[in-house]
Amino acid sequence: MAWSMYEAVLTKAASIGGSSGEAMSTSILYNLARLYEDKEDLVMAKEAYDKLLTHRPEYIDARIRQAHMLANLNQVDNAHEILKHTLTAHTSNLNLRAYYTSSLIQNNQLKVTKDFVYATLKDYEHSDVYLLCAATLIMYNQSCKSRDPNSKALEECKCSFQCVVETYQKALQFDPLCAVAAQGLVIATAEDALGALSSVTVASIVEETQLRIKNTPDALDVFTKIQESLNDGCVYINIGHCYYARDEFDHAIESVSAGSKLQSQPADTVIPV
User: Could you tell me the CATH number of the domain that includes residue 185?
Assistant: 1.25.40.10
For the stretch 30-39, pLDDT in tens is: 999 999 999 9
Classify residue 128 by its DSSP letter.
-
Return the biggest CA–CA distance within the chain. Answer: 78
Q: Where are the beta strands (DSSP E) in the chain?
A: none
Residue 145 pLDDT > 80: no
Residue 178 belongs to a domain: yes
Q: 71-75, 115-119, 153-157, 249-253: lowest mean pLDDT where?
A: 153-157
- The per-residue pLDDT for 271 is 41
For the stretch 161-205, pLDDT in tens is: 888 888 999 999 999 888 889 998 888 877 766 665 555 454 455
Percent of the chain topping pLDDT 70: 86
Residue 143 belongs to a domain: yes
Neighbours of 196 (CB within 10 A): 20
Pairwise pLDDT comparison (166 vs 245), residue with the higher score: 166
Classify residue 150 by its DSSP letter.
S
For the stretch 82-123, pLDDT in tens is: 999 999 999 999 999 999 999 998 888 888 998 999 999 999
- The per-residue pLDDT for 196 is 56
For the stretch 30-73, pLDDT in tens is: 999 999 999 999 999 999 999 999 989 989 999 999 999 999 88
Q: 79-83, 113-117, 150-154: lowest mean pLDDT where?
A: 150-154
Angstrom CA distances, 254 to 70, 219, 224, 240, 258, stand at 36, 18, 14, 8, 6
Residue 166 belongs to a domain: yes
- The per-residue pLDDT for 205 is 55
Quick one: residue 18, left, alpha or beta (phi over 0 = left, psi -120 to 50 = alpha)? left
Residue 196 belongs to a domain: yes
Rounded to a whole number of angstroms, the distance between the first and last alpha carbons of the chain is 45
Round the average pLDDT of the chain to a whole number and report it.
Answer: 84
- Asked if residue 234 lies in contact with residue 183, where contact means CB atoms within 8 angstroms, the answer is yes
Residue 11 pLDDT > 60: yes
Residue 181 belongs to a domain: yes
Residue 3 belongs to a domain: no
Residue 5 belongs to a domain: no
pTM: 0.74
Please state, in angstroms and rounded to a whole number, the distance separating the CA atoms of residues 191 and 189.
5
What domain range includes position 195?
127-272
Residue type, 154: L
Number of separate domains in the chain: 1
Residue 23 belongs to a domain: no
Angstrom CA distances, 210 to 4, 43, 197, 207, 255, stand at 61, 55, 13, 5, 22
Pairwise pLDDT comparison (193 vs 25), residue with the higher score: 25
Quick one: residue 108, left, alpha or beta (phi over 0 = left, psi -120 to 50 = alpha)? left
